Amino acid sequence: MNLERFKLAKAAELERLRTQPLARASNASRPGFLAPRGEGEPIRIIAEYKRASPSRGVISERFSPEEIATCYTAGGAAAISVLTEEKYFLGKLDFLHRVASRTHLPLLRKDFIFDEAQVREAAATPASALLLMVALTPDATQLRALRELAESFGMAAVVEVFDERELEIAREAGAKVIQVNNRNLETLKVDVTASSRLIAHKRAGEIWISASGYETRAQIEELTGYDAALVGTSLMQAADPRAALEALCS
């Protein structure tokens, strides 16, 4: 099972986090992650720094975190998602610091996070938000504890769901920012109808993000009801990530 191998890949890291003193939480002010989209405002783009993925293998290693931060900031991103998982995404926690050195935009730490030690580790970075996946933490009580811990450090918790059952768990855990991933983490297949189906359940006061499978502005404009779309692979594969992002934001 894909989810199990993803969790197993974090075993050594978790052992280190649990046995070594954690860095102190950052005292730097974190920019607010994402506000609800106002009436008539265009959908915003969360641009992602992703060097590889389990479904694609190596995507691109041409751009440094600093270069991508500059491109995405100039290209009109509302926030930058940074993959920090090492085995499958070729990420590093330090990428958050390197991206932050070149942008004022809020950062989202994306990783397989399911333990309090990982949340505390993220709190020592410039991240304004971190990703929690219902698929990895299907117990609503545990998910709530992770969300509340993140918020206690001034970080938003973006809670990812794939279907109606996971949305119920996210709601039970008190999720305020919900990300619909069109990619099933077990099969790694993309089904963009997940976003169009689930948006019917959006409630007032919630912030919704759609992720996976987007390459064109026309696709983005079809995301009625969403506050933002997260785009990574198509931007990383582009010869000019800034120009590709500008086309999505236009």
- In the chain, what percentage of residues exceed pLDDT 90? 68
Any residues with CB less than 8 A from the CB of 133 and at least 6 apart, and which?
A: 112, 113, 114, 159, 160, 181, 185
Distance CA 75, CA 250 (A): 10
Mean pLDDT to the nearest integer, 226-231? 95
User: What DSSP string describes 182-238?
Assistant: SB-TTT--B-THHHHHHGGG--TT-EEEEESS--SHHHHHT-TT-SEEEE-HHHHHS
Residue 27 pLDDT: 64
- CA-based max dimension of the chain: 50
Enter the DSSP assignment of 41. P
**For residues 161 and 179, is the Cβ–Cβ distance under 8 A?**
yes
- pLDDT on residue 15: 87
Confidence of residue 1 (pLDDT cuts 50, 70, 90): low
Higher-scoring residue by pLDDT: 14, 208 = 208
Task: Kindly indicate the confidence band of residue 173, based on its pLDDT and cuts at 50, 70 and 90.
Answer: very high
Of 106, 110, 120, the C-alpha closest to 16 is: 120
| Average pLDDT score over residue span 169-174 | 98
Work out the mean pLDDT of the chain and round it to a whole number.
91
User: CATH for 2-18+40-249?
Assistant: 3.20.20.70
